[in-house]
Structure 1
Amino acid sequence: MALHLKTRWKDETRDRSLGDVASALAAVAWRIALAKAINLHCERFVYRDDAQRLAVIQEYLAFLLQVADRLAFEALAEAERRALIVEFAKRLCAHVQDNGEDLLGPGDHAAAFLARLNERSDEYAEFQLTDEGPSYAFLRHLGHTIQTLMGEADENRWVIDQVMDKDGWEAYQDFRRAYRNLLG
């Protein structure tokens, strides 16, 4: 499934704040995560309900937040990196809250997602991201978390392979390109 992402600023001469960049990155990350969740369905993996689908999207968002943090570590001073990642996480929480209310009804969807981000941050800290991309263990962890969410019923038995071998890698590549273009 081809995904068209807006990854360049309309007016490239205008200065952008880290908040502007974080907002654009959050929109891109949401679109990537949503596309990957839809792709799993297209590949005949089965979601139990919208809550499970939203949880898969959140796993992709947590993964992309970790990617952003690693990319920012290479390119920004520590204070700028922290400001970008905190603002990026806040914007992701807003997306999850809005979409959670639309799909699941009222509730504090952002708080549960923030707890997930903090948990995943500790877990992903063990894995490497190099110039070649995320390590096998990095992608395996994403695949494992999604496999755990979707269960190991016959129709979902191989979801970890789909995520590790194709979808996780593509999500990384799409996000890395957007990150580099938007941060300039």
Structure 2
Amino acid sequence: MALRIKSYWKDDERSRSLPEIASALAYIAWRIALDKAINLHCERFVYDQDAQRLAVIQEYLIFLVQIADRLAHAELNEADRRTLIVEFAKNLFGHVQDNSQDLLGPGDYGGPFIARLDARSADYAEFQFTDDGPSYALLRHLGHEIQTIMGESDANRWVIDQVMDKDGWEAYKHFARAYRNLFE
């Protein structure tokens, strides 16, 4: 089943602030990341526990923050880009915290997510992003991080290929389309 995401504003005559756009992007990113985590399960990859599934969702969110930053770099000045990405990350922090608490119980889940986002940002900075989208190496890094989370059991041996060749690219396409639509 195809993922359907509303990425147009109801009242398209009204201008939106960067924090409003960032909030919408965070919701859309969460939906995409959740869809891709579910798709891995549908493709017969195995999660050992709910925390592992949430970690995969977070890896997709980190990837989508990198995509947003690269798209914003091409279209916004430095101050607006920083505002958008910081607000986007803050909203994702809320999604991660709320959904993790609902599933795993009380605890600090958003803080470790932001720490991982900061660490991964340095890793992702090494990879190319062109007008055509993320490089194969960037997608491979996403696949590697998800493979690390899921383990290399017989059931999950090929998860890196699924992420690199299909799911990561689809996540990028959905998110980039929504990003552009929200700025129109």
Equivalences, count = 184
Residue 38 of structure 1 and its aligned partner are, at CA, apart by 0.1
Residue 128 of structure 1 and its aligned partner are, at CA, apart by 1.0
2:25 match: 25
Rounded to whole Å, the distance in 2 between the matches of 1:21 and 1:128 is: 25
1:96 match: 96
Residue 121 of structure 1 and its aligned partner are, at CA, apart by 0.3
> 1:86-107 CA distances to partner (integer Å, 9 max, x unpaired)?
0000000000000010011000
1:119 match: 119
Rounded to whole Å, the distance in 1 between the matches of 2:132 and 2:79 is: 26
2:154 match: 154
Rounded to whole Å, the distance in 2 between the matches of 1:133 and 1:165 is: 13
Rounded to whole Å, the distance in 2 between the matches of 1:160 and 1:99 is: 25
Rounded to whole Å, the distance in 1 between the matches of 2:50 and 2:183 is: 33
Rounded to whole Å, the distance in 2 between the matches of 1:35 and 1:111 is: 23
2:180 match: 180
2:164 match: 164
Rounded to whole Å, the distance in 1 between the matches of 2:116 and 2:61 is: 10
Residue 145 (structure 2) pairs with residue 130 (structure 1): no
Matches within 5 A, 1:58-69: 58-69=58-69
Letter in 1 for 2:75: A
Matches within 5 A, 1:74-93: 74-93=74-93
2:44 match: 44
> 1:40-78 CA distances to partner (integer Å, 9 max, x unpaired)?
000000000000000000000000000000000000010
Rounded to whole Å, the distance in 2 between the matches of 1:128 and 1:93 is: 26
The alignment's C-alpha RMSD in Å is 0.4
Rounded to whole Å, the distance in 2 between the matches of 1:152 and 1:77 is: 42
Gaps of 5+ in 1: none
Gaps of 5+ in 2: none
4+ residue runs over 3 A deviation:
none
Residue 89 (structure 2) pairs with residue 109 (structure 1): no
TM-score when normalising by structure 1: 0.99
